[in-house]
A = this chain, B = another copy of it.
Amino acid sequence: MESTRTRTRRATINDVASAAGLSRGTVSRVVNGERYVSEDAKLAVEEAILRVGYVRNSVARNLVRQKSGAIGLIIHEPHSLLFEDPNIGSILLGANAVLSAADYQLVSLIIDSERDSRRVADYLQGGLVDGAVIVSARASDPIALAVKNLGVPAAFVGHPPGIPDIPYVAIDNAAAAEAITARLLGTGRTRVGMIACALDRDSGQDRLAGFKAAMGDLFDPGLVVEYPLYTYGFGLEGMQELLRRRPDLDGVFAASDAVAAGAMTALQESGRQIPADVGIVGFDDSSWALRCRPQLSTVRQPADLLGKRAAELVLAQIRGLPSPAEVLETSVMWRGSA
């Protein structure tokens, strides 16, 4: 797949040696990652490789073997959320660490529209990636369907219902939500609401289910407000709505830390003290949690590890090894907000 636009022949290892002023053997040792090469020689070779446009063996080998050496990270998130949710960044960096160590290039593919969705399916079909990690898939996701039908090695972060055949790594959102709601109730709160989000996804549905389970007889459906996305803005709006519905509310479970941060702003603007008047808990333990004042009590989910394990599941499939689904542990981080 060499472009013929700007070059007439592919640079060879001899060109690198000549440009670096070193022997072919030294260049070869550097390129193959062997020991007993001086740092100066390494630097000179690296510089010469870039200068002459030499394609390393790994790339050439991949081209011959009809492998791209790349793994796609498919992020299916609406525009507004993409960079407000630090989990996605942590998943990406976790996956990148594992793939980088295995000499695979992570390529992120963002789906922001129907058109994107179709084009990404085409891209997967074109052999430009050897596998895919899929984040934020929803039930009947067309990409998930495409991956399944193409037989591309793949793994989900999260566990979308209705797609049973692809391995996944997930957390138990319902159990974690139940645990933190129970802890909130343990501080003596009785009038507790929830700002629920993203009910089109397993994470959103399961967090609401866990909240209901913990509330038991105290559960009041009128104290659940629902929004499409886990955002600061919906947290602000949701808290204002809950306070209108129930001014003497004394506790709230926000479906994510960003949502909780927005809710805390609304509580403070309404003159309520946190945690004296209202106790609040979130979900994620992302950077939002430590920026809040008081700091947020929340569920820690290992976003970085979700990305790492999902990447490992894809590599396992490429190597013909077993790739069982995995559910990672979460824990409650108790701080000042409740």
Interface residues of A (CB under 8 A from B): 1-7, 46, 50-56, 58-59, 62-63, 66, 68-70, 72, 79, 82-86, 88-90, 92-93, 96-97, 100, 103, 105-110, 112-113, 115-116, 118-123, 125-128, 130, 142, 145-146, 149-152, 232, 261, 265, 269, 287, 291, 293
A1 engages B127 (CB within 8 Å): yes
* Nearest chain B CB to A162 CB, angstrom units: 15
* Nearest chain B CB to A155 CB, angstrom units: 16
B105 engages A1 (CB within 8 Å): no
* 26 residue pairs bridging A and B, Cβ less than 8 Å apart: A1-B1, A3-B127, A6-B150, A6-B151, A50-B142, A50-B145, A51-B145, A52-B149, A53-B149, A53-B150, A54-B125, A56-B122, A56-B125, A68-B126, A69-B123, A79-B93, A82-B89, A92-B110, A96-B112, A100-B115, A105-B119, A106-B109, A106-B110, A108-B108, A232-B291, A265-B293
* Nearest chain B CB to A8 CB, angstrom units: 12
A2 engages B84 (CB within 8 Å): no
* Nearest chain B CB to A332 CB, angstrom units: 24
On chain B, the residues within 8 Å of A72 by CB distance are: 107
A68 engages B1 (CB within 8 Å): yes
B93 engages A112 (CB within 8 Å): yes
Interface-central residue, A56, A85, A293, by most chain B CB under 10 Å: A56
On chain B, the residues within 8 Å of A151 by CB distance are: 3, 5-7, 53
Q: Which 3 A-B pairs have the closest CB atoms?
A: A83-B89, A1-B127, A6-B151
Q: Give the nearest-CB partner of A153 in chain B.
A: B5
On chain B, the residues within 8 Å of A119 by CB distance are: 100, 103, 105
Q: Give the nearest-CB partner of A83 in chain B.
A: B89
A4 engages B122 (CB within 8 Å): no
Residue of B1, B46, B79, B92 near A128 (CB, 8 A) is B1
Q: A108-B108, A109-B105, A265-B293 are in contact. Are A55 and B126 (CB under 8 A)?
A: yes
Q: A107–B70 Cα gap in the complex (Å)?
A: 11
Q: A6-B151, A66-B4, A116-B96 are in contact. Are A50 and B110 (CB under 8 A)?
A: no
* Nearest chain B CB to A72 CB, angstrom units: 8
A86 engages B84 (CB within 8 Å): yes
Q: A100-B115, A110-B93, A151-B5 are in contact. Are A83 and B79 (CB under 8 A)?
A: no
B69 engages A126 (CB within 8 Å): yes
B118 engages A105 (CB within 8 Å): no
B93 engages A88 (CB within 8 Å): no
On chain B, the residues within 8 Å of A116 by CB distance are: 96, 100
Q: A69–B68 Cα gap in the complex (Å)?
A: 14
On chain B, the residues within 8 Å of A109 by CB distance are: 105-108
Q: A320–B328 Cα gap in the complex (Å)?
A: 51
* Nearest chain B CB to A131 CB, angstrom units: 10
Q: A108–B115 Cα gap in the complex (Å)?
A: 18
Q: A7-B151, A100-B116, A149-B50 are in contact. Are A105 and B84 (CB under 8 A)?
A: no
B107 engages A146 (CB within 8 Å): no
